[in-house]
Amino acid sequence: MKTFPMFLQMAGRHVVIVGGGEQAAQKARLMLKTEARLVLLAPELDPELAALVAERRAEQVKTLSIEVFKDAALVFVATGCVGLDYAVHALAKDAGALVNVVDRPALCDAVTPSIVDRDPVVVAISTEGTAPVLARQIRAKMETLLEPGLGGLAELAGRLRPEVARCIPQRERRFFWDWVFSGPPRAAMARGATREAAALVKATLANGSARTAQGSIALVGAGPGAADLLTLRALRLLQDADIIYYDRLVDPAVLELARRDAERVFVGKEVGACSWPQDRINAVIVAAAKQGQKVVRLKSGDPGVFGRLTEELDAAHSAGIPIEIVPGVTAASAASASLGRALTERGATDRLMLATATCKPGDPDPDWCAMLQPGTTLAIYMGVKKASCLTQSLQKAGVPMGLEVEIVSNASTAREMQARCRLGHLPDVLTRENITNPAIIFIRWPKQAVARAQTAA
């Protein structure tokens, strides 16, 4: 290593930033995250820096002297002038300060890393100036791994450390802290449930052990297919899971993002193959959680949109298992994005209806006619097999057969197919183009179509 990573104590110390422009402001933004006192050395300051001085978050010094650099924790030089940068660097070095001169690596004692800030958890990434873009890419990856609430959990752990030493036997402490940072407390903090996380930790402290703590269930939306459409929370839960129960439509690329040693159990329904009834799925996810495992129930799209979510929620609640819902990108959103258009359009379609053509066995088909009114975009999930019935019902109700229809199958995946037609031609187009489920059928009935018809009449 040419540079040695180290964290500097900033409380009660001052940082000098030389310069009054944008580069100086960038360093000021960074240092404002610390407890250091900021000294801005420049005869004139841009509006952002001047505001910091006016708010007493920094002080301004207009005259350059060696005295201002004495005992400084760090000096940033960002004048934008080559000659002045060298002169300030020499003066600061004479004062014994650590110096960083912006865009001049040869003059830098200290290098500013890419930072992932989850105060008090801080990750610093450096490539020693060789590949800043790579450092930013690594930082982006770390941002996905460390949820925003992680710092709050670390602070809670720090406050409770004396109580842990008092209540938890030494041989149990490693297991306890692993449970805090890998189990339900971290999951609760990740979804913003600060009080719940604290209550879980304190209740376990009162019991004197975490080994009897049960697991948890997360109902996670895998999105429409493309792995990079996963939410950050979904990715974190997949990487923490002990066991993953996944549906047929979950793309294999999504499962590749899961922890390598996590058990994977397929619970989908294949045509002609043995299927998992819902009550069996409910039973196995609850049983796994009762054994202390972190369970992810991975569903395609968004689990709250036609995903049998309520039944699995009820099973977990009845068993007293902690459970959370992680939304995913629903297929209608992905399909609309693939088409390059919005789901709604101001002045044309200001109402969005989501409907499924796959209902509970024995239930009647949805009332398509009630859903599709002027000013509506109707998005029908899994509707390919019901296309003829759908078209006939709408025609009998007087819906114009000339309405625009767009179909997207396997949205966001390499298997994606698209087709466009008029409503009256929908069944024929699906057959001709060999489009199958999973698919979204969009039927748009803009307000303008009604207005034109009334004008023509």
Query: Catalytic residues, which ones?
Result: 247, 269
For residue 444, the number of C-alpha atoms closer than 13 Å in the C-beta half-sphere is 21
Which residues in 261-403 belong to E strands, given as ranges? Answer: 263-266, 294-299, 323-326, 351-356, 376-381
Give the 3-state secondary structure percentages of the chain, helix then strand then coil, rounded to 5: 40, 20, 40
How many CB atoms sit inside 10 A of residue 45's CB?
Answer: 22
Q: For residue 218, report the phi and psi dihedrals to the nearest 5 degrees.
A: -120, 125
Which residue from 442, 426, 440, 449 is spatially nearest to 375, judged by alpha carbons?
449
Residue 74 parent element (H or E): strand 74-77
Cβ neighbours, 10 Å, residue 260:
6
Q: Indicate the SS3 state at residue 212.
A: coil
What is the distance, to the nearest Å, from the Cα of residue 255 to the centroid of all Cα atoms in its chain?
Answer: 17
For residue 306, give the 3-state DSSP assignment.
coil
Q: Backbone phi, then psi, for 144, in 5-degree steps?
A: -75, -25
Coil, strand or helix at 132: helix
In angstroms, the Cα distances linking 326 to 59, 152, 286, 323, 360 are 45, 20, 18, 10, 24
Q: Which has the closest alpha carbon to 102: 2, 23, 31?
A: 23
* Closest to 313 measured CA to CA, from 298, 305, 324: 324
User: For helices 132-145 and 232-240, what crossing angle results, to 10°?
Assistant: 70
Strand order in the sheet with 417-422: 351-356, 376-381, 439-445, 404-409, 417-422
Give 369-436 as a 3 state SS string.
Answer: HHHCCCCEEEEEECCHHHHHHHHHHHHHCCCCCCCEEEEEECCCCCCCEEEEEEHHHHHHHHHHCCCC
